[in-house]
Structure formats: structure tokens, C-alpha cells
Structure 1
């Protein structure tokens, strides 16, 4: 049994965080671990807050043509509520895998740490070579070109981890086994 309530996976776009989280879920059965992904939060936003940089208000999340992502004030408020909900789920007894992209590096980690106060939390860095992440991104219609290369290293700057997984040339199941072994499962 894994001695944590929450595993927070941080990795750039197309780095393999979701695939790793799904592999972790499979290995952690029969105990259910709920996957809470920032991509699902973004998909749940009203269309007006999922902006493409083409004349929106800037209050939501702007996915610019150069691959940059700019979260606005309204998005930040919604994101804070989402983090509180994820933490409440863990406090209610359901273990959680968080799949996120720390656009703000250590500030993003600090926001999660505040929300998860009192919960046993492990931090997992999900790394992937920028060129490989970019190639994965090219095959995904839901991604803005350039996002993977831009985020591959940026999201890890100044972030502290309990363990890391490099998905560049390893399949998700192997990475998941290594993460669990490192975390004491």
C-alpha cells in the first residue's frame, strides 16, 4: 500500500503525465485512485474562458499561437476552487492522482501545497525530451503547436520532487513501477 493520500504529477504538454497516471491507477488497484487532470478542468470551462488568443478577454486561459499559455484572473479563481475540491476529495478518503502543468514553477507547487495541507502528498516530476514531446504533440489534434517544446523544461524549473519519471523512451507501465518503488509501495 502506498503511504500517500495524493500524488501530484507535474509535466509539460505531451510529456506523458496522463499516461503515467493511468498506469499508476492500474498498478494501485484494488484501491481506487481518482485521476484529476488540469486538462479536464480546462475542457470543463465555458467556451468564453477557453480562449485561443484571438480577441478574447484574457480572463480565462489563453492558448497563444506560439505555444505559450497565459492564465487570466477568472481562470485562476476557478483553478483555486478546483484545487480545493481535489483536496476535499482526498480528505474525504478517496486517494487522488493530480495531473498538472506547473506553468508558474515553484509558485504553482506552492498553491498545491497550500491546498493539500495536512494530506500525505508526494511530488512526481514527469520529464520528456523536448523533441520527443513535440513529436507527440504533432500527432494530437487537441494541442497548440509549440506548447510541448516550450513547457518541457520550463515547468520543472525550481520545483522539488520526491521522485521523477522520464517518459522519453520508457513506456508508462515501466515508469509507474519505478515511481511506486521509489515512493515505497
Structure 2
């Protein structure tokens, strides 16, 4: 099976975005990248820090409301349509709902070949990266480090605690292309 979609799930600051950029460089075919952070950035201001939208508490706790879920479902359907139209797709997501989040993606991606990748990172390492980034409230990475993996099943798991994004991407690429790189 050569996947049409690769879904990477991991907590904040776990290294998913870096792996996605490296995958785009090392995979032999072009792959489009879709990230939950980009989706959140596209939301109107009225849905930020809102009960209907997305709220991020000072301690890093994330909550989402009904309107966020509705728009997120439309986004997932659009990502799936892009893959069904013939593009290879990389998804960078944070499964705040663990297995429930994966189930929503499974429904959207039904009929497509998907490679599910868990991106792990020790909570202390992710928290240090979070501080360096400066664009997330302290505590988010630590809260999400294990939460996002609860009940989720993967085809492949990588750990960025001591492994660079490029090496993780090469591991994933070997799973996609086989050992000969084709």
C-alpha cells in the first residue's frame, strides 16, 4: 500500500511541523501539507477565545466549541477531497480527543489509503521547545504530550525527544516508499 494520506498526530511542540517539511523534501512525489495550526489561524477573530470556537487558557488547556467542531469537520472533508482528487496529503494534527479525534479523521478519509503516524516527545523536551517558540502558553506541550495519544492506533511511531525531524521523516519515508526509496 502506498498511502494517499499521512496523518501525523502529536502534542504541541512535539516536532510534527518540522517532520512534515522534511517529508516534503525527502518523499519522491509532491505532497501537500495541511496543519491544524493553519486551520486555527484561518478562524475569524470572533471564534478565538470563545465558547463556540476555540479557547486557550493561560495554563495551556485547550477547549473547543460547537462552531469550531462544525468548521473543523468541513476542513477535514476538504482535506479528504483534496486527496480524493489525486493529491498526496500530509496532515499535521493534535488529537485533543484522542481516539475520538482519530475516529473523525477515519470517517473523513474513508476509502483512502492512510498511514497513521504517532509523533512522541518527552513532555520536558516539548515544554522546553514551547518556551523557545514563545507563541504558546506555558503548559500546553506538557498537557498534550500523552493526552493526544490516548486510545489512538498507529501504523508507525516516531519520537523526537532525541531524534531530529529529518531522521524521523526518513523513517516515515521508508515506510511509504520501501527501502529502495521508490
Return the TM-score normalized by structure 1. 0.93
For 2:171 and 2:133, the matched residues in 1 are separated by 27
**1:150 aligns to 2:143 (yes or no):** yes
Select the residue among 124, 130, 153 that pairs with 2:123: 130
Structure 2 partner of 1:93: 86
1:162·1:183 contact (CA, 8 Å) conserved in 2?
A: no
Q: SS of 1:3's equivalent?
A: coil
For 2:85 and 2:176, the matched residues in 1 are separated by 22
Structure 2 partner of 1:79: 72
Deviation readout 1:2-27 (Å, 9 max, x if unpaired):
70100000000000000011111111
Matches within 5 A, 1:33-182: 33-51=31-49, 56=50, 58-182=51-175
Select the residue among 23, 29, 32 that pairs with 2:30: 32
Deviation at 1:184, TM superposition (A): 4.8
1:163·1:183 contact (CA, 8 Å) conserved in 2?
A: no
Structure 2 partner of 1:20: 19
Q: SS of 2:91's equivalent?
A: strand
Structure 1: stretches of 5+ with no match in the other structure? none
Aligned length: 178
CA RMSD of aligned residues (A): 1.1
Return the TM-score normalized by structure 2. 0.95
